[in-house]
Structure formats: structure tokens, C-alpha cells
Amino acid sequence: MATPGQINNLAIVSLVAGALSFFAHVIPIIGGFTVAIIAIVTGFMARGQIKRTGERGMWMANLGIGLAIFHFVLAFALVMLVLFLIFIAGIALFGISAHSGSAPTPVPSV
């Protein structure tokens, strides 16, 4: 059983993983999203242990969870921005070229 003055180890892992998730995209196969998931899972596990044992480190667990969630929100916003720019580029390139040229010639009536 842990003493009340001790910092929860999973809270430390959550904080470190949440902070490093932004830089972990350079790791092949694992990547930053896996590290962010680790931060969220260990953060919630740490919160449960802290409530049960009275250890310190609740702020570390909360910050680790928050950083990981911010990572996912930032990645989602970046994907939406890229899709929007691709959409705008498609309209600019193909929309104008599809309507370029002269107006259709009227059919002469007899």
C-alpha cells in the first residue's frame, strides 16, 4: 500500500506520455497517437488509484489526459484543414477549367 505523501507512478507516466505524444510521431509503427492513448489510459488508471489510496499526483494525471486529448483535437483540426485546402484547390483548379471558354452558342431558330 502506498503512503499518502507518495506521488502515483501512473500519474507520472501519464504526464510524460502526454507531453511526449507530440514528438513521438517520428517513432516508426508506434507513433504519437499510440503514446497519446497510453497517456489517457494511464491517466484514468492513476486517477482511480489516487482516489482509492490518497496518493498525490492528481494534477499530473489530469494534465496527461488533457495533453493527450489536446493532441487528438489538434490532429483532427489539422486533418480538417488539409481536407478543406484540398477542396478549395479542387474548386480552384477544376471548377474554373470546367466553366472556362465562351458561353454556349444559341441554336438558330427557323
DSSP string, 23-92: TGGGSTTTHHHHHHHHHHHHHHHHHHHHHHH--B-HHHHHHHHHHHHHHHHHHHHHHHHHHHHHHHHHII
Q: Is residue 54 part of a domain?
A: yes
Q: Is residue 79 part of a domain?
A: no
Q: Is residue 104 part of a domain?
A: no
Q: How confident is the model at residue 105 (pLDDT cuts 50, 70, 90)?
A: low
CA pair distance 102, 89, nearest whole angstrom = 23
For the whole prediction, is pTM greater than 0.95? no
What is the count of structural domains for the chain?
Answer: 1
Domain for residue 47, yes or no?
yes
Residue 36 has pLDDT above 60, yes or no: yes
| Interatomic CA distance for residues 22 and 13, integer angstroms | 15
Checking if the pLDDT of 91 tops 90, the result is: no
Instruction: Quote the domain boundaries for residue 53.
Output: 9-74
pLDDT at 99: 56
Q: In this structure, is residue 110 part of a structural domain?
A: no
Q: Residue 96 domain-assigned?
A: no
